[in-house]
Structure 1
Amino acid sequence: MVYYSLIKYVSLMFELVARRIRLLDQLPCGATRKHRERELDVVIQQHYLALRCAELLEELISPILLAQFLGCVLVWCLLILYITMNIDNMGAINTLILCEVLAFEMLAFSFLGSELTHVSYGISDEIYSFRWYDAPISVQKKAMLISARSQKIVGVTAFKFYFVSIEQFGKVMFRNVTSTICVECTSINDH
């Protein structure tokens, strides 16, 4: 739960940045140029802090996700071994339950990883929607800084092996389930 909470916390940091950008356009018409620049400076600082937190989160969670991924692969292999060799029905059932628990944990990480990537990438849409083209050159440059920073993909990876996302989870689960079904059909046909 701690890791899930950390990912959600960083996602919320990016959401706060997006909301601050939306509020930039709602500044009163009488707001001075200095006031707009100060507000944009705060947004830039918050965006930098959110990016830094995402980097720290990646350093912390990356090895754990790799271990989780490898654990899933090993348990799937063990399940396939139990099914093909007809070694022990209770062992296969226990391994299947372990597969489901690990798959649920990976699903939770994948869902939160996708959310983090989506929210962080949404910053570029928000800054583009901001009326930067009507602003002075100094504000335009600062808006471009945020835009350039937000182009970098932010998310959690399994030790830089792959980004943890719902799409990746679906691909991995589809391959594992398909291979398990093929092995079961082969073992049934052999008997």
Structure 2
Amino acid sequence: MDSNIGYYYETNKKLMSLIGQWPYQKPNEKRPRLILLIIIICNALVFQITHFFVCEDAQCFYETLAPCMLAIVALIKLFTIYFNNHKIKDLTDRLFKNWDMFTSKEELDIMKKYAETGKWYSLAYVYYVLGGIVIFASTSLLPQMLDVVSPLNTSRPVMLIWPAYYFVDEEKYFYYIYCHMLFCLLYGINSIVAHDCMLFVYLEHVCSLFVVIGFRFEHMLYKNNNVKNIRINHPNDMYCKNIMFIVQAHREALQFVMLLESTFSLSFGLQMLMVIVGMSITLVQISIQLQNNLTILIRYLLLIGGQLFHLFCYSFEGQKLINYSSETGDKIYNGSWYEMPVSAQKLLIMVMRKSLEASVFTAGKIYIFSLESFTTVLQTSMSYFTVLTSMSE
């Protein structure tokens, strides 16, 4: 791997290596990390499930269900990468090879721009998640802090990071339980972060391919793709050779999207179901805590904010993929195709026909990630929230 190119993907390499799923990682390094992560997530999930058996009302059930679903989503993302590791390797190989397809400075600058964007999206996502975890986990220490600052006749009841049953006295062993939960949360969340950040990089990369292809189409008749240069006359075979290369590059971009879809689509179908149910349950808890407990209300607001941010990131990237893939035909039309020989114009029809149908990224081939679909999910979650609220009354 070229060190200059590897710079843009260093963050993703570290995240994937941490969970033992970097495609080029040695097997003896991958297996222990993967097993450790599965044990940690399942360990947290067991104590969450046991709490269901001590719940006495619907509110307790809802409080336990939301964090339990988060652990299940973490396992789904982890196993998605694990069982599709050969596809992840294929996607990563294609990503690095695509850099060799384009040689002009303008085209490489476009590739670098989107690779840099993917890197900063990944870093922002990591910092957002870590910041949310720190704030969320800190709220569990508020009762102990208030006992020191403003003591009462009796100690305030303990507040765990999430509802769980540890078969011991929670007040006596609070700090042990707290440290266990915090460790599980900080390490277990890596499966979600690594999965999501790698997907952001893949989507940004395929968007850059569509942009570069459109750029070359628009400047087909200019030497070195520089719009300030004087127009030159190429022989017919040079036109055809150049267009054939672009057709091949466009086909590579479409194949990249198809491979991306086959790798993540099924698992995202399950995740979207959980996201809708999870947001509905969280909204129910927010409505209950509006007049009851401000600390718990803040925690649920952080949780709903995290769910919305998670879904919005995918919807935003999916919308970019739709926009860039569908603009290819427009860029062909905006170029000087009428000055090309007829034999070269015929080759453009292949790409124009493909670009009539925008490339999309879906969840279970049912839900299309886009900003329009994002609002639909919010409306659906509100509908379920209304139903759940009426049932809990």
| TM-score interval (norm. to shorter) | 0.7 to 0.9
Structure 1 unaligned segments of length 5 or more: list them.
Answer: none
- CA gap 1:95/1:83 in 2 versus in 1, 3 angstroms: closer
* 1:116-155 matches, cutoff 5 A: 116-155=321-360
More helix by share: 1
Which residue of the other structure, out of 278, 281, 288, is the alignment partner of 1:75?
278
Counterpart amino acid of 1:18?
Answer: G
Contact in 2 for aligned 1:68/1:106 (Cα 8 Å): no
How many residue pairs are counted as aligned between the two chains? 186
Q: Which moved more, 1:46-55 or 1:125-134?
A: 125-134
For residues 179 and 141 of structure 1, do their structure 2 counterparts lie closer, same or farther at Cα, with a shift above 3 Å needed?
A: same
- Matches for 1:92-111 after TM superposition, within 5 Å: 94-111=299-316
Q: Which stretch has the larger CA shift, 32-41 or 69-78?
A: 69-78
Q: What amino acid is aligned across from residue 121 of structure 1 in structure 2?
A: S
Letter in 2 for 1:65: F
TM-score normalised by structure 2 residue count: 0.43
Over the aligned positions, Cα root-mean-square deviation in angstroms equals: 2.8
- Partner amino acid for 2:232? C
Q: 1:167 to 1:48 in 2, by over 3 A?
A: same
Between the aligned residues of both structures, percent identity stands at 23
Give 1:182 deviation, angstroms. Answer: 9.2
Tell me whether 1:54 sits opposite 2:250 in the alignment. Answer: no
Task: Look up the SS of the partner of 1:24 in the other structure.
Answer: coil
Residues 65-88 of structure 1 show CA distances to partners (whole Å, capped at 9, x for unaligned) of 2233112112123235546777x9
Q: How far 1:179 sits from its partner (Å)?
A: 6.5
> Is this contact kept in 2: 1:8–1:112, CA < 8 A?
yes
The answer to whether the Cα contact below 8 Å between 2:312 and 2:374 also exists between their aligned partners in 1 is yes
User: How far is 1:46 from its partner?
Assistant: 0.5
Instruction: State the Cα distance separating 1:14 from its structure 2 match.
Output: 0.8
Q: Retained in 1: the 8 A contact 2:280–2:382? A: no
TM (norm. structure 1) is 0.83
Contact 1:75 1:95 (8 Å CA) reproduced: no
2:241 match: 38
Greater Rg over alpha carbons, structure: 2
CA, structure 1 residues 160+91, in 2 after alignment: closer, same or farther (shift >3 Å)?
A: farther
Which runs of no fewer than 5 residues in structure 2 stay unpaired? 1-196, 224-230
| Partner amino acid, structure 2, of 1:53 | F
Moved more, 169-178 or 88-97: 88-97
Q: Is the 8 A contact 2:363 2:369 kept in 1?
A: yes
Deviation, 1:39, is: 0.9
Distance 2:232 2:282 in 1: 65
